[in-house]
Amino acid sequence: MYAKDYHDLGTPAAHGQSVTLDIDGATVTVPAGTSIMRAAALADRDVPKLCATDTLKHFGSCRVCLVEIEGRKGFPASCTTEVAAGMKVRTQSEALAKMRRGVLELYVSEHPMGSCPDSSRCELETLAGEHGITQSRFGGPKTARAHTHQPVDASNPYFRFDNDLCIVCSRCVRACEETQGTFALTIEGRGLESRVSASQNQPFLESECVSCGACIEACPTGALMEKSLLTAGLPQQAVTTTCAYCGVGCSLVAEVTDGAVSRMVPNRDGRANQGHACVKGRFAYGYATHADRVTKPLIRKSITDEWTEVSWDEAINYAASEFKRIQARYGKDSVGGITSSRCTNEETFLVQKLVRAAFGTNNVDTCARVCHSPTGYGLKHTMGESAGTQEFVSVQHADVIVVIGASPTEAHPVFASQMKRRLRAGAKLIVVDPRAIPLVKSPHVEADYHLRLLPGTNVAVINALAHVVVTEGLTKDDYIAERCERESYEKWKKFVADPINSPEAMEPITGVKAELVRGAARLYAKGPNGAIYYGLGVTEHSQGSTMVMGIANLAMATGNLGREGVGVSPLRGQNNVQGSCDMGSFPHEFSGYRHVSDDSVRATFEAMWKVPLSPEQGLRIPNMFEAALDGSFRGMYIQGEDLAQSDPNTSHVTAALSALECLVIQDIFHNETAKFAHVFLPGTSFLEKDGTFTNAERRISRVRKVIEPLCGYADWEVTMRLSNALGYPMNYRHPSEIMDEIAALTPTFTGVSYEKIDRLGSIQWPCNDQAPAGTPTMHVGTFVRGKGKFYVTAYVPTHERTTSKYPLLLTTGRILSQYNVGAQTRRTPNLAWHSEDRLEIHPHDAEARGIEHGDWVGVTSRAGDTVLRVEITERVAPGVVYTTFHFPESGANLITTDNSDWATNCPEYKVTAVQVVKVAQPAAWQQRRQAAKPASPRKRRAPMDNPA
Ligand code: SF4
Ligand code: SF4
Ligand code: SF4
Ligand code: FES
């Protein structure tokens, strides 16, 4: 369905008791509070409209939607008038038609017929045409346009604003407020002079606009329009798919013109995003066809050789022969594979199957190791399931929202907009973060408490919050008695009640004033509905798993689990972090989080896969690096992951990768890891394949092929060919068959199939006989593990401490316009907003070092050093510095250390002791990198010596 074909009901849904009325002789029953406009549209008696759209509250300015109501004088606007029982409405009459024509003619005088670049998408021109209007009687030099003519604002890389086409309906202004929550737009001036203005009458690019596109989606004319539409013709095809950036998992509709995506629009029926998107998903898809794409397989014998283009057969056979050779010489466990949270569930499942069944080892891990592995550990131990408890809409029922170690407006923007809507409606906000994230204070949103803790002291803060809850009698004792293990609770209660965990005792450690901790604890506990959302600022610590358990403890003790409006929700960074974990990517677990040592589980996989499987846990990523360095691990297959850029302590990682005899990379671009590879298998973007992603709400959504794979094969097909070349047969004809196998082997996926996803739109697992339509809220009535289990979470300071040599604490994060290591977004016009990573430093720390805004600074840690440009800001506290990590030339991971979570080895990215000094220029290697061309040089095909 094209976006403009969507049946817009005019005003949002209401939820009152049923009311029955008569519209044009038809009996219509709708919830009380519904507008006449919506009721009429639901009965297929659509009333003309211009200023109304069903994603926004009614406004009532255009007056084209007038109707007649029996027994009432005048002609009320149907968008602002609510239905009433027994009401009789007429939507069509001579008088109404005459009035509508008059109003439309006035609009057409401001916006002549045919003036939109694409009149078929213009609601005004369509409506005027339907009313027989070809031109206006009111046109002339004294119209508003003559007064307000402005040049077209084309500053934004993706869309432009043409004031001459604007009918000042305010839909864009309201979309920016209600849908996006940015408040970047206003209507400036009065009467004929009124016009849309961005921020302080600035070009869009320089304004507060975050380029989400909600205003374009709302605009009924071509005044706000994607630049891509100015050149593309009408779409010939529209494909509903799922965004491949963050864990919100927005449903998008890709419109295709002449075989290329002409625009991407948010799917109004998307359950996760409800018709909204952000600058990445909506606009930054151009990387998929970027000239840097590698589309031909490459091989080389040594990493010092040049690459050679070869056929698929040759590349696959070479990779397989190398893996076989290595295993024959060094043993079965000398090889392994890495799955990617960017790939589909089906692709991930196949890679781990290849490692377990074709390689015959459990040496498989996933990039989720370095982000949310502590989430799996902490939530599984306390509640019995390794996933978030809520669906996103649950936040609309929260009274108190707690955001810990996450910046939703940057990393999960569409969910942030939903959260901000709830906050504007009155929910309270507690932010626990070393940095003043944008949510702390933004238009119409302000945190009630910002617990600005020192990096590395999360567990001390969560224990202090729990201390207040327990010692001030704020626990939900009935809930605990009914739903949790008594013994574990008593032990935990005694532990947190100890004065050593009081906010006062913890204040010198955390840097957070005790009274703020006490206030925040009371606010959360009294809710009545308290919802916790957290991110990598929780997990990427030496006590990441402890902190996740601490959060779960607090939620259980306050009864904040098992219903809407509450819960513990990890905000997953990449699109398919949840899915990659679910699919059995960890070395100790099959899909559905079942241990490889469990004989009965292993037996079901062995029966299906027809091969004996190892009961021994395999190597995690850091163990693979260690084993590579000690010589026992020699071959690796990495799908869609850039370990050399994304993993900590780069020099350690690259030393390990250099030690491998065969590194096979499957990716869409040459990346840092490919520098150490022997075989490069071209990958496919999300636009080029079928499959599914699972978002942070456990929602499984379809990824649908929009264009043909540039390299000829989808990633799952390449894995399958590699497996066949290794001698373990795989014969899937379509990813739906892989999903059928997943469903057959995974209890939480038993009821999942492509047919069902297509029918329901999306499904939240568990989906099985007990929950055939999926499970929006987890742990209702009882926890998955039976009784909730409390864990004692003693605070253990990280080894990474400040000293006189390294006096500052570095923490890291993301920015809205860029994504992760930037491989995709750096190849899009998103560079207009963020073209380099900067080091944020507090004015006091900058002054003490003689550093000024924009200076280059050397950042040195115990692991290494790099150079960044500086930004002086009070967003960070004194003693703390912060950077993003989207550009390889920033070398952020050169300075992060080997410290990791005690339970899962998730790296401690968020705490690195550093020194910062002013320097003259970037390091020599950074200058070389910036000067270098992005694509790797390679020669045309020349057969390798005996590649088999
Ligand atoms: S693109 Fe989004 S943020 Fe920018 S003006 Fe439009 S609605 Fe507001
Ligand atoms: S830009 Fe579009 S949505 Fe905004 S006021 Fe003008 S016509 Fe209405
Ligand atoms: S990046 Fe995230 S929030 Fe933005 S469109 Fe994609 S899934 Fe939605
Ligand atoms: S649509 Fe009702 S007044 Fe504009």
Segment 571-628, tens digit of pLDDT: 987 889 899 999 999 999 999 999 999 999 999 999 999 999 999 999 999 899 999 9
Give the Cα-Cα-Cα angle 201, 202, 204 (nearest 5 degrees).
120
> For 426-439, what is each residue's pLDDT tens digit?
999 999 999 999 99
Looking at residue 143, its pLDDT comes to 52
Q: Is residue 883 helix, strand or coil? A: strand
As beta bridge partners, residue 404 has 432, 534
- The verdict on the CB of residue 218 being under 6 Å from ligand 2 is yes
Q: Residue 319 belongs to what H/E stretch? A: helix 312-330
**Average pLDDT value for residue range 851-865:** 92
pLDDT of residue 944: 34
Residue 417 · residue 181 · CB < 8 Å = yes
DSSP H or E segment with residue 459: helix 458-471
Q: pLDDT digit string (tens) for 749-804?
A: 999 999 999 999 999 999 999 999 999 999 999 999 999 999 999 999 988 989 99
> Which atom of ligand 3 is closest in space to residue 575's alpha carbon?
7
C-alpha 358 – ligand 4 centre gap (Å): 63
Query: Residue 217 C-alpha to ligand 3 middle, in angstroms?
Result: 16
Separation of alpha carbons 471 and 473, rounded Å: 6
- Ligand 3 touching residue 278 (CB < 6 A): yes
Which numbered atom of ligand 4 lies nearest the CA of 80?
2
| DSSP line for 288-310 | GG-TT---S-EE-SSTTSPEEE-
State the distance from the centre of ligand 3 to the C-alpha of 277, rounded, in angstroms. 6
Tell which atom from ligand 4 comes closest to the C-alpha of 37.
2
**105-114, 348-357, 472-481: which range is least confident on average?**
105-114
Burial of 932: CB neighbours in 10 Å, binned 0-12, 13-18, 19+:
exposed
Report pLDDT for 889.
Answer: 78
Query: pLDDT per residue over 212-246, tens digit each?
Result: 999 999 999 999 999 998 888 778 899 999 999 99
Whether the CA torsion 832, 834, 835, 840 is positive or negative: it is positive
pLDDT tier for residue 674 given thresholds of 50, 70 and 90? very high
- Kindly give, in sequence order, each residue whose CB lies less than 8 Å from that of residue 564, ignoring residues fewer than 6 positions away: 390, 394, 397, 529, 777
Q: What is the pLDDT of residue 636?
A: 97
**Structural element, H or E, at residue 471:** helix 458-471
The pLDDT assigned to 140 comes to 53
End-to-end CA distance of the chain: 49
pLDDT given at position 261: 94
Render pLDDT for 496-555 as a digit per residue (tens, 0 to 9): 999 999 999 999 999 999 999 999 999 999 999 999 999 989 888 889 999 999 999 999
- Mean pLDDT within 354-371: 90
179-183, 692-696, 885-889: range with lowest mean pLDDT: 885-889
State pTM to two decimals: 0.93
Cα–Cα nearest to 595, from 581, 584, 606: 584
The pLDDT value recorded for residue 135 is 73
Distance CA 338, CA 623 (A): 13
Identify the nearest ligand to the CA of 185 by its number: 1
Strand 635-639 vs strand 335-339: parallel, antiparallel, or unpaired?
parallel
Model confidence pLDDT, tens digit, residues 398-423: 999 999 999 999 999 999 999 999 99
Closest ligand 4 atom to Cα of 169: 4
Mean pLDDT value of segment 268-273: 94
Of the listed ranges 3-7, 285-289, 344-348, 396-400, the least confidently predicted one is: 3-7
Q: How confident is the model at residue 110 (pLDDT cuts 50, 70, 90)?
A: confident
Which ligand has the shortest distance to the CA of 222? Answer: 2
Q: For a pLDDT cut of 70, what percent of the chain falls above it?
A: 96
- Cα separation, 838 vs 835, in Å, equals 10
Least confident of 35-49, 231-245, 865-879, 891-905: 891-905
User: What mean pLDDT is predicted for residues 184-210?
Assistant: 91
Pair 425, 261: CB distance under 8 Å: no
Ligand nearest to the CA of 51: 4
Question: Relative to the CA of 167, which ligand 2 atom is closest?
Answer: 7
Average pLDDT for residues 641-647, to the nearest whole number? 85
Q: How confident is the model at residue 145 (pLDDT cuts 50, 70, 90)?
A: low
* Cβ atoms of 603 and 721 closer than 8 Å: no
- For residue 136, the model assigns a pLDDT of 66
The CA distance from 366 to 368, in Å, is 5
Give the integer Cα–Cα distance in Å for 62 and 127.
13
State the Cα–Cα distance between residues 311 and 948, nearest whole angstrom.
13
For residue 899 the two structure tokens come to 């410290």
Who wins on pLDDT, 78 or 116? 78
Mean pLDDT for 55-66 is 94
How far apart are the CA of 254 and the centre of ligand 3, in A? 14
How far apart (Å, rounded) are the C-alpha atoms in residues 690 and 709? Answer: 11
DSSP 40-107: HHHTT-PPP-SS--TTS-----S---B-EETT--S--BTTTPBP-TT-EEE---HHHHHHHHHHHHHH
Ligand 4 atom nearest to 10, measured from its CA: 1
**pLDDT tens track for 370-398:** 677 889 899 999 999 888 999 999 999 99
What percent of the chain has pLDDT above 90?
A: 79
Pairing of strands 856-861, 763-764: unpaired
Check if 903 has its Cβ closer than 6 Å to any atom of ligand 3. Answer: no
Evaluate if residue 250 carries a pLDDT over 80: yes
Could you report the per-residue pLDDT of 460-495, keeping only the tens digit for each? Answer: 999 999 999 999 999 999 999 999 999 999 999 999
pLDDT at res. 147: 47
Q: What is the pLDDT of residues 811-831, one digit of tens each?
A: 988 888 888 878 888 889 988
Tell me which residue has its CA closest to atom 2 in ligand 2: 219
* pLDDT of res. 117: 85
Confidence of residue 8 (pLDDT cuts 50, 70, 90): very high
Distance of CA 201 to the CA centre of its chain: 31
465 lines ligand 2 (CB under 6 A): no
Residue 148 banded pLDDT, cuts 50, 70, 90? low
Contact 339, 352 (CB under 8 A): yes
Mean pLDDT along residues 342-348: 95
> So what's the pLDDT on residue 142?
45
Summary mean pLDDT of the chain? 92
Q: Is the CB of 47 under 6 A from ligand 4?
A: no
Residue 945 clears pLDDT 80, i.e. is over it: no
Q: Determine the distance separating the centroid of ligand 3 and the alpha carbon of 575, expressed in angstroms.
A: 8
Residue 934: pLDDT above 50? no
Residue nearest to atom 3 of ligand 1 (CA): 209
Give the whole-angstrom CA distance, residue 535 versus residue 335.
32
- Res. 930: pLDDT tops 90: no
Q: Contact 501/472 with Cβ under 8 angstroms? A: no
- pLDDT of the residue at 609: 97
CB–CB of 309/271 below 8 Å? Answer: no
Ligand 3 touching residue 280 (CB < 6 A): yes
Nearest CA to 99 out of 139, 47, 153 is that of 47
Ramachandran sector of residue 522 (left: φ over 0; alpha: ψ -120 to 50; beta: rest):
alpha
The 3-class secondary structure across 720-777, one letter per residue, is HHHHHHHCCCCCCCCHHHHHHHHHHHCHHHCCCCHHHHHHHCCEECCCCCCCCCCCCC
**876 band by pLDDT with thresholds 50, 70 and 90:** very high
Tell me the mean pLDDT in the region 49-78.
Answer: 95
Q: Is 914 in the pocket of ligand 1 (CB under 6 A)?
A: no
Q: How far apart are CA 385 and CA 380, in angstroms?
A: 4
User: What is the reported pLDDT for 946?
Assistant: 31
Mean pLDDT for the stretch of residues 901-909: 82
